[in-house]
């Protein structure tokens, strides 16, 4: 099956052609401009390759309620040119094929759950810590949506007394994203995050904040695996620190085989940066299957 996959980003759009087995045959990166500049380049690419369905992992928030007239719209994004843009509709109109759309982090969670290290697991959390903080949640075999989609990057955590930084979330100030995103690290310490690698206090604080959020996800969602991605997680020393902090916070309250093997419970992404695009291939496959079922 010839499937199209799109991973949207603030700086670039990654377009790929692949199949239902998660194999990627071709890809093209297009710089993100306005929809008017960027969308025709993307639809031309997918059109040339004759895709039978398209999956989109989209920055958000996005409307995912299929009964809403605004299904597939980007809603209140800070990327102004894309606000209120009918993302799913623009591609469906141009390509005349089924289009599946979900959040970028949900797509990454799906890629890991279907094609990656989390294959076979029922409940998986994928947290990205980058320019923003967001979580994709795969639960009992499908992505979690509910009334909207999870926005678990904005959960409240306890700010350390020693932390003089107020937080930068425009909505909540010192939520997880406000305290632990790449830009928050850079504002707090006055230096590019990548250049702070050997400052132990930077990563101790970061690991504490991430672990607090993971504690909440563990207790509410009961995930069988937690995958951490995004630019900030390139600081690999964070992983053992986060695992230690999670164990300390849980304090033996729950005991499972997963928690007993922390090195395989809280892990880096496994698909070499392709988890989002592979998840988008699966979204395309699902959209194709759903359109077939509708026709019967």
Residues that bind ligand ADP (CB under 6 A): 9-10, 130-132, 182-183, 186, 193-194, 230-232, 234-235
Minimal distance in Å, beta carbon 170 to Zn ion? 8
Minimal distance in Å, beta carbon 229 to ligand ADP? 7
The binder of Zn ion chosen from 74, 105, 109, 169 (CB under 5 A): 169
Q: Is the dihedral of CA 279, 151, 119, 287 positive or negative?
A: negative
Per CB under 5 A, 159 contacts Zn ion:
no
- Select from Zn ion, ligand ADP, none the partner in contact with residue 154, using the beta carbon and a kind-dependent cut-off of 5 to 8 Å: Zn ion
Binding mask 101-140 for Zn ion (x = CB under 5 A): ----------------------------------------
Minimal distance in Å, beta carbon 89 to ligand ADP? 24
Minimal distance in Å, beta carbon 178 to Zn ion? 5
Which residues, listed in sequence order, are joined to residue 4 by a DSSP beta bridge?
A: 17, 54
The binder of Zn ion chosen from 77, 115, 118, 154 (CB under 5 A): 154
Smaller CB separation from Zn ion, 175 or 278: 175
Q: What DSSP assignment string belongs to the chain?
A: --EEEEE--SSEEEEEEE-TTS-EEEEEEEE---HHHHHHHHHHHHHHTT-SEEEEEE-S-B---TTSTTTTBB-S-S-GGGTT-BHHHHHHHHH-S-EEEEEHHHHHHHHHHHHSTTTT-SEEEEEEESSSEEEEEEETTEE--TTS---GGG-B-PPPTT------BTTTBSBHHHHHSHHHHHHHHTS-GGGGTT-HHHHHHHHHHHHHHHHHHHHHH--SEEEEESGGGG-TTHHHHHHHHHHHHHTTSS--TTGGGGGGTEEE-SSTT-HHHHHHHHHHHHHHHHHHHHH-
Smaller CB separation from ligand ADP, 55 or 230: 230
Minimal distance in Å, beta carbon 143 to ligand ADP? 19
Smaller CB separation from ligand ADP, 188 or 285: 188
Minimal distance in Å, beta carbon 65 to ligand ADP? 25
- Select from ligand ADP, Zn ion, none the partner in contact with residue 216, using the beta carbon and a kind-dependent cut-off of 5 to 8 Å: none
- Select from Zn ion, ligand ADP, none the partner in contact with residue 232, using the beta carbon and a kind-dependent cut-off of 5 to 8 Å: ligand ADP
The binder of Zn ion chosen from 27, 70, 172, 234 (CB under 5 A): 172
Strands 99-103, 53-58: pairing is parallel
For Zn ion, the binding residues (CB under 5 A) are 154, 169, 171-172, 175, 177
């Amino acid at each position: 099956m010839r499937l199209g996959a799109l991973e949207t980003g603030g700086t670039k759009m990654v377009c790929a052609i692949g199949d239902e087995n998660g194999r990627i045959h071709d890809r093209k990166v297009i710089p993100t401009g306005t929809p008017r500049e960027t969308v025709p380049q993307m639809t031309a690419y997918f059109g040339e390759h004759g895709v039978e369905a398209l999956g989109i992992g989209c920055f958000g928030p996005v409307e995912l309620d299929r009964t809403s007239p605004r299904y597939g719209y980007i809603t209140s994004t800070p990327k102004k040119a894309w606000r209120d843009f009918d993302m799913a509709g623009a591609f469906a109109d141009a390509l005349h094929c089924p289009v599946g759309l979900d959040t970028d982090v949900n797509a990454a969670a799906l890629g890991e759950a279907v094609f990656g290290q989390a294959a076979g697991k029922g409940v998986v959390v994928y947290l990205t810590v980058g320019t923003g903080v967001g979580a994709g949640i795969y639960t009992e075999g499908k992505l979690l949506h509910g009334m909207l989609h999870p926005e678990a990057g904005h959960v409240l955590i306890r700010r350390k007394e020693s932390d003089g930084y107020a937080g930068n979330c425009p909505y909540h100030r010192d939520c997880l994203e406000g305290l632990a995103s790449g830009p928050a690290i850079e504002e707090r310490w006055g230096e590019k995050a990548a250049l702070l690698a050997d400052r132990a206090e930077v990563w101790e604080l970061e690991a504490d904040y991430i672990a607090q959020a993971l504690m909440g996800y563990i207790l509410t969602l009961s995930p069988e695996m937690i995958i951490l991605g995004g630019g900030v997680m390139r600081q690999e020393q964070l992983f053992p620190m986060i695992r230690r902090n999670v164990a300390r916070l849980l304090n033996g309250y729950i005991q499972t085989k997963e928690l007993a093997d922390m090195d395989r419970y809280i892990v880096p992404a496994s698909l070499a940066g392709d988890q989002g695009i592979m998840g988008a291939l699966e979204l395309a496959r699902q959209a194709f299957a759903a359109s077939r079922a509708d026709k019967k």
